[in-house]
Every structure is written in structure tokens, then in C-alpha cells.
Chain A
Amino acid sequence: MAPIGADLATLYYQHEAGGAPAVRRLFGGTKRLHQAPEARYRAPVSRDGRSVTVTAVAADPGRLRADLQALGLAQGAQVGAVVSGRLPIAALGDAARLSSLRGMVPAYAQTHVGRVGSEADTAHRAFEGRADLDVDGRGQKVCALSDSYNRSSTAATSARDDIASGDLPGPSNPAGRTTPVDVLDDSEPGSDEGRAMLQLIHDIAPGSELGFHTAFGGIATFVQGIRALADPNDGNCDILVDDVRYNTEPFFQDGPLTNVVDSVADEGVAYFSSAGNDGQNAYGAEFRDSGNQGVISSGAVAHDFAPSGGAVDTLQRITVRRGGTFRIFTLQWTDPSALVDGSVGADTDLDVALVNDTLGIVAQSARDSDALGLPVEGVLEYTNTGAIDANEDGVADSTYHLVIEKAAGPDPDGVKYIHSGFNYEIKEYDPHGPTIYGHPMAEGAMAVAAAPFFNTAAYNPNVDPAVLEPFSSKGGIKIRFDQTGTPILAPEAREKPDLTGTDGIDNTFFGTDSAYDPDTHPNFFGTSAAAPNGAAIAALIREANPGFGPAEVYAQLEASAQDVTARQTRSGDLVSVPSGVDFWSGHGFMQATAATLPVTLADFGAVVEQKRAVLTWTTAGETNNAGFGIEHKHGDGAFESIGYEEGAGTTADSRTYRHRTAPLAPGVHTFRLRQEDLDGTATYSKEITLNRTLSTTHSVSAVAPNPVADEAAVSVVVGEPQDVRAEIYNVLGQQVALLHEGPMSANDPTTFTLGDNLQSGVYFLRVSGTSFTATRQFVRVR
């Protein structure tokens, strides 16, 4: 056993003596997995006690990996003479005897990929899910849309550097993940945020292929990018994620981006989008005609900020301290948008201006919106350089006023704007409000809120499961127009955001280092960083559950999410958010443990053997699996339980099950599995349909019961459609009853009832078609 060392030899003998339970007694328990400091350093033994992650050094580099794979090595990777992967503990003895092996040690640190690891991997416990179910996102392609991938001239690393360090896949990836990132379009200059997003995905789902398309270059370019990535003949991505928002995306109507997201989701592509970083930084109110002129145009009428009943006030006071910036990224009103194909456009034109104390305009946005058809103004942005002293008091101004004015058209029902910046403050009429808008509102998308890693349970014992970022956007904006631009009588409220992910994540170049982790790597903050984690966990779920569409993936993420009940405010205070699904955290903080990655049906099929159906299914892994109920229905009938197969409880091993049914009548049969957990919850598999056809021209069952005391039945099936005659004769050869005369369709059993009007005696049932004649004898007793 010398080549495998004392640690692995001890492990091997422990397993030999008591099997996996004995190993679990040594290494089991989950407490360590919740402890923050060491959470990214994990013991190499799997939680089920069956396998160990090893690093092996080859005596013969050309053979070792294959030799270990023959012993059951999973997730094997090789760099030079070093092979790593997960080896069954039971195979350690055989491994020690391999001539191709020079030495082997347990690998204590395998929880991150590349030079820089992900706090999100720990916070969402994805490393547990990967290890326990032997998944890493293989077979999935996850693609990002952001500004750019490899265009920045100021980023600390390039894509080539990231591949060389193992933080991205590519030809020189040291872990052997050589499939390069599929870059469809990187034509727009940017900060390479998309590359940082892909690093986060690679940390959680290192086996997934990756792709990229810029989302900049205009709304149509973004739409085209989504289509291209989802196109099976182009990007062929299974999961998409973006972090981009256009200020013209409608607040109150599904726009072209929302529609394309729904479209690709319908085609089977799961979609994740950052919820936004606007918190509740929104002003919203009904539009109130003040009767007073505007400041941009004397022909315009100003909005009255004061609630009804108060004195008219057309100025909203805003403080922008010296060096501060106030920005309205988008101001919109309740009109439909001409961006939407088939919709009428806006018929009102609102403008917005920021003025100083003497009403001098310092910033404005004043499109011809009704002509354009877009109910949008913005961006309005003002940075206080200290150069303005409008009231000539000798002190640079810091007080400004916002004016919203209507230049044309009818009064809209409502007006709303979303603000951002720094060193500014809305001093009055600041109702706060929802800020999630645009394509994250798509029903086919998961909008992801953010919680910083240092406020997740894995890193902070004071938190369970997570506290939201103060800037994470709040949902609640209602959809008010359909695709034609017609107002919806009951405006549609959507549950957004959907989920919460981790942000503040280490990567090689994007962001700046956080004071709240011990390393010096840059930390990537924002919902931009949270959404990729959802996409990566979705890759694990889809690998574990082949055939899962977006709806099943979303349902799994939502069902397993842990409720988030607190958030921080802009001032750093801790406040509660409603329990359950809410407009801040959605369904809660995502989990990627084996318990949340359900029992995996890697395959489920059925064939006809003789007259029976043989069902087979394979699980890639099981967690708390009590077993499988087998359910069956014939034709249009109801499902009935016809059997049960015990499950394996919890195992990372793949298992195959087989169930042979009783003989089936000809016709259409449908089967499904009811997978039951130990806690009593159950989920159904997809349905499998079989058509048991006749191998001969016909089938006529025996008369049953026989003798016939009251009534009996006989079933007749024909293999080809034809006219059939069913008659009853007595022993004298006289016809005493005609049961059927006419066409019968193929493989559609017909049951006849007989005996009701027959005297006691012996009878013969004769069934004749164009291609057959069959006779069944029966006795009638009374």
C-alpha cells in the first residue's frame, strides 16, 4: 500500500472493515460545511463515504489516467504526470498495485477552479452538490451577454491569462478543460465584465462549455445576441445569463427583449438576468397637471409633485453635494411603447430637467417622445463640480430641483423615474418604489437579487441564510399594456425578483478587493455577479436531470431556496423583509446541495417484450430517495399504481432499475414513475407511451367467467381495420345471438358481454373477419 500513503491506506482499510458507513462515521457530519473560515477547504472524502478525491503522480503518464478510470476514477483530469479525480475508496487497494502509479495523496483543496475561487461556490454549497452527485455541469453550455469579453486594455488579465491560470476553459487550461469559450460577438468595447461573469460560472460548473455575445450595440443587437446564442445551429447554449439593461426597455409593457427571453425559454433555454442595482431608488406618482408652465418650454405644463390636496409644488428638491452625481437613468410614463412590434406608441411627451435655485437648467432630457413613440426620457445626469453659485451667496450650490413637464399629449396616469449616483439625496417627495423593469420581468426569466458573500451563512455566523445588498432592486412594477398597446384592465403584477445569489465574488481582474475577505483578489459586486451563479447552478441541475426544461429548473431552484428575511438599507441599517416569496429576495437564497439537486433520472424508457412492458430507468444519484412507484394507464383511462421499486436512499452512485409489468392488452399504454422521498414528498417523471400491437391478425380472449352463471365478457382485437362479425351458436348450429357486425379499428380492444338471454347449455362464440375466424366455447348455467 506504500504508493497510496498512510492516509489513503487507513481510509481503504476502514472501508474494507465497515464499508461506507464506517467511513462516514470517520468523516461524516455536515457541520464543517457550514463553518465559514474553512468552507472553501473541504475534506476529500465524499459525504456518502464511497469515494475520495485524490491527486496521483504517474510512473507512466501515458497509462495512469486510463488505469485509474478502469478502477472507477470520475472527473479525471491530467496535467503532465499528475492525475486528479474522484476514486472509489474500495478501489484504493487495486490502485496501490498499479505499475503506472508512482504515488497518490488525498486532495484536500479541490473546491475551486483555477487560480481564483468563488465565494459563491461556498455560499450556495455548490461544491457539495458537485461532489455528492458527481456533476460539474458537463453536457451543458452556459453563455453570457454583457459588455465585452476580451476587449479591455486596462483589465489586469486577458482571456489568455485566465485560461492559463485555469480560471476559464481553453486550449492551455491546466486542468484539461480545453474547450474554448465560444465568442460569437465581442465587437463592442467594454470592461470585459462578461469574462468575469464566465469565471464565476466556471467556478461552480467547471464542466460546462461557455459562450459569449455582447449585449451592447443597441437593443436589436442584444435581441440578436440572445437569438444567436440560443440557436441550436449557432451558439447552441442551454442556459443564458445577462447583466445589461437598456433605459428604453418599457416599465409597463413587455418589450422586445422581454419577448425574446420568453421565446428562447419556450424553446428550452433557461434564462437568468440580474435584477438590478437600484434598490427602491424610484419616484412614482400619478401625473398631476400643476397648471403652471415648465422650465424647458413655456408651452409645457409642469407636474405637481405635491400630493393632491396640498399646495402646488413643481420642484422636487434634491441635494447633490460637491463632487456628487445625480442621475436619472430612465424616466417613463404610462404609455405603450413603439419599440414593441404591433403596438401603438406613446401619445404623450414628457420632458425632465434639473434646475438650480434660480431655475437655470443644469441638465435635461427632452426628446420628441410622442413623435418617437417611446414613453421614455433619460439619461439625465449632473455632476456637481462646485462651479455653480446661482444665488450668488458665495457658496457653491448643492441644492437643485427636478422639474417634470408635459410638452404634448394627454395627461398620463402615472410617471416614474429611477435614480442613481452618489453623494446626492432626494430631499422631498421620495416615496421609494419598485425598480425592476425590462427583460428581468420576463415570465421566462429568473431575475436574481444579490447578497454579499460576507453576509451569507457560510461566511457570517450572524446571518442565516443571507442578508440582501442595500442596492438589490425591489420588484413590483405592474405590466399595464398588452402587445398591441391596449391597457390591461387588471395590471399584471409579477413575482420579481425570483431568486437571490451571492455577489462580491473573487475573480482575476474585475472590481476591487473587498476588505471583508482575507485575499487580495478583486471582488465583483452587484447583481451582475449574482445572476451567473444561478446560471451555473442551473447547469448542475440540468446535468443531474437530463430533460429538465427551464420550468423544471426554475421550480427546483425556487423550491430549494432558503427564505431571506433581512436586507441592509442604503444607510447600512438592517431591516426585515417579508417572509416567504417577496419583492426583495424572491423565493430566497439559492442552494446547490445534493439535497436540492433532486433524484436524477438519467434515463427512463420502456419496451415491449412478449406481451409485457419492461420499464428501465437509471439514476445519476439519489438523495433521500424512498423509492419509485410505477403507474400505468391504458388508453384514456386514469393512472393506477402497478408496482413499487425500493430506492437507494442517498447515494452518489448511478443505479439502474427494472420493472416488468403483467401482460398488457393491445393498445396504447402510458407509464410514469412517482419518485418518493423519505420525507413523503413525491415528484413524477415524464410519461412514456407504448403501443402494444398484435403480432398476429387478431386476438379473441377466452370467455370469462366460464361457465357463465350470469354474464361473461370476451375481448376482441384485430391487427388491421376490417369488418368483423361476432355470433353465438348453439350445439345444433343455430345462431342464437349477433353481438357485433361492422368495422373494428386496429389494436383497439372491443369487449362484448354475453350470457344474458341464453338458456342453460353449451354454446359457441364465433368471431370472423376478412382475414380470420375464431371460435370460443362456453357453458351457460342458470
Chain B
Amino acid sequence: MPCSSPCSSPCSSPCSTGLLVLLATVLVPTPSPAQSLSDSLRAEALRDFHGPDHTGKDGPLAKAGLDLLLLYHKYRAARQEDGTPFSPSMAGARVADGYVTIDAIATTSATQLRADLTALGLTDAATAGRVVSGRLPIEKVPALAQVESLRGVVLPRADTQTRGPPQPAPPVSAPNAGSAASSPSAPDANIFLYLGGVLGLFLLTEL
């Protein structure tokens, strides 16, 4: 049975168990070589982010953030395998030609930060207030974490507001009275008949 209240009785110490599960997930090798490589890369990223004690967010490269560090280690591993194109499994990371799009936040001066990041190879830089956006060479992620003018960095996650075709929302089949909608129905056949007629009239007229 699932425990719905892990940190209160009757469950016994589930929170610390959760942490152990996480660490086990990260650190314990599994039979799959691919899985093993992935886990080892993640462990390296976690070490950079949390430090050797695996706690807190005070590792040597913490300022780069866990997502970028994970991306960096995956990129580095991919480059060591000849001919392996790098396609990160990290949803939303915009990666192309060894560069990753970032939003960097300045400690104080975005001008200084932009200059510092440009020195690291940032391209297509844009500045808005404290934010510097652009494409950074992935291999420069460790160096990024050492930039003094940088407060922090995130992988920008943007979404458009498009949707697929409607599934639960067919045309309303009764007047707006607040009643439940009926099941989806096919378009009225008369529509086709009428449109066909009008189109025919149009074609005849145009010809």
C-alpha cells in the first residue's frame, strides 16, 4: 500500500528512506551498460552541484545549475565516442552544434556579465535588464560556473500556446443553456451539400 503520509505515523521514517532511494538511484550501478553510463554521468553532475558530501547546493560548479552540468557531462561523454551525434535527452534544452541556449542572470552588471560570457564564446547575445541570453559552447559550462559577474543561469524553457485537435470538446449540440454537451458528432451533411452548391455556382459564374 502506498504511504500517503511519509513523515508521520504510521509510516516509519520514509523521508530519510526517500533520500536513500534517490542516492541509490543515482549511485548504485545497474546491469545495463547504457544505464550505467547515464548514472555515472548523473553522479558526476550531482557531485559538481552538491559537492562530495552529496548534500546542499554548494558543489564546486553549483552556480551552473544541475541541468547544465548534466548536459555538460553528457556532451563530454558523447564527444569521447567517435561519430556519436550529441542529442541530449533533456527536454527543452536547445542545443545545436555544441552550443546551448542559456539565460544568465548578472550579480550586478549585465554589461560586465555579457562581456565575460562573450569571452567564453557566447554568441547571439542579447541583454534585458539583468538577463543575458545567448548560445554558450557546452564545453565552457565549468568555466561559466566560475564567472564572478554571474549570479546564476537557467536553461530557458519557452512554450508556444498551440494545441492538438480537440479531443474532449466537440461542437456544442444544444443551445447555450449550461447543459452537458453530447458526444462528438460528425459535421452536418447539409454543410457539404450547401458548400458544394455554392462552390458550383461560383465556378460556373467565374467560368
Which positions in A face B, CB cutoff 8 Å? 7, 36-38, 41, 55, 105-109, 146-147, 187-189, 191, 193, 215-224, 243-248, 256, 260, 274-277, 290-299, 302, 311-315, 317, 329, 338-342, 345, 349, 355, 357-361, 366-368, 371-374, 378-379, 381, 391, 399, 401, 403, 407, 452, 454-455, 459-460, 462-464, 467, 469-471, 503-504, 510-518, 523-529, 531, 565-566, 568, 570-576
A-facing mask of B176-189, CB < 8 A → 1, else 0?
A: 10111100101110
Contacts of B198 on A, CB cut-off 8 Å? Answer: 38, 41, 108-109
Q: Could you tell me if B157 and A401 are in contact, using CB atoms closer than 8 angstroms?
A: no
Q: Could you tell me if B19 and A401 are in contact, using CB atoms closer than 8 angstroms?
A: no
Contacts of A191 on B, CB cut-off 8 Å? Answer: 160
Q: Could you tell me if A256 and B128 are in contact, using CB atoms closer than 8 angstroms?
A: yes
Contact of A38 among B7, B102, B192, B195 (CB under 8 A): B195
Tell me the nearest residue of chain B to A275, going by C-beta.
B161
Tell me the nearest residue of chain A to B184, going by C-beta.
A515
Tell me the nearest residue of chain B to A470, going by C-beta.
B169
Contacts of A381 on B, CB cut-off 8 Å? Answer: 91
B84 at the interface (CB under 8 A from A): no
Q: Could you tell me if B2 and A399 are in contact, using CB atoms closer than 8 angstroms?
A: yes
> Which of under 10, 10 to 19, 20 to 34, or 35 or more describes the interface residues of B?
35 or more
- With the chains together, A468 CA to B154 CA distance in Å? 35
Q: Could you tell me if A462 and B194 are in contact, using CB atoms closer than 8 angstroms?
A: no
Q: Could you tell me if A217 and B133 are in contact, using CB atoms closer than 8 angstroms?
A: yes
Contacts of B178 on A, CB cut-off 8 Å? Answer: 566, 574-576
B175 at the interface (CB under 8 A from A): yes
Describe A's contact surface by its main secondary structure.
loop
Q: Could you tell me if B131 and A339 are in contact, using CB atoms closer than 8 angstroms?
A: yes
Q: Could you tell me if B187 and A515 are in contact, using CB atoms closer than 8 angstroms?
A: yes
Tell me the nearest residue of chain B to A298, going by C-beta.
B19
Which positions in B face A, CB cutoff 8 Å? 1-8, 14-19, 21-22, 25, 55-57, 62-63, 65-66, 91-92, 94, 96, 101-103, 105, 124, 126-135, 151-154, 156-166, 168-176, 178-181, 184, 186-188, 190-192, 194-195, 198-199, 201-202, 205-206
- With the chains together, A329 CA to B156 CA distance in Å? 12
Contacts of A372 on B, CB cut-off 8 Å? Answer: 65, 105, 151-154
Q: A313-B5, A462-B172, A575-B178 are in contact. Are A359 and B18 (CB under 8 A)?
A: yes
Q: A361-B21, A514-B165 are in contact. Are A219 and B92 (CB under 8 A)?
A: no
Q: Could you tell me if A373 and B151 are in contact, using CB atoms closer than 8 angstroms?
A: yes
B6, B14, B130, B162: most-surrounded residue (chain A CB, <10 A):
B162
Q: A41-B198, A218-B101, A371-B57 are in contact. Are A293 and B15 (CB under 8 A)?
A: yes
Q: A295-B19, A314-B5 are in contact. Are A338 and B161 (CB under 8 A)?
A: no
Q: Could you tell me if B131 and A371 are in contact, using CB atoms closer than 8 angstroms?
A: no
Q: Could you tell me if A187 and B195 are in contact, using CB atoms closer than 8 angstroms?
A: no
Contacts of A371 on B, CB cut-off 8 Å? Answer: 57, 62-63, 151-152
- With the chains together, A357 CA to B127 CA distance in Å? 44
- Sorted nearest first, the 4 A-B pairs with minimum C-beta distance are A218-B133, A292-B7, A341-B129, A372-B152
Q: Could you tell me if A359 and B6 are in contact, using CB atoms closer than 8 angstroms?
A: yes
Contact of A302 among B7, B128, B129, B205 (CB under 8 A): B7
Contact of B162 among A36, A105, A525 (CB under 8 A): A525
Assuming A38-B194, A338-B105, A368-B63, what are 8 further A-B pairs, CB within 8 angstroms? A37-B190, A223-B126, A223-B128, A244-B159, A256-B129, A293-B7, A295-B15, A462-B173
A220, A295, A345, A570: most-surrounded residue (chain B CB, <10 A):
A220
Q: Could you tell me if A518 and B164 are in contact, using CB atoms closer than 8 angstroms?
A: no
Tell me the nearest residue of chain B to A471, going by C-beta.
B163
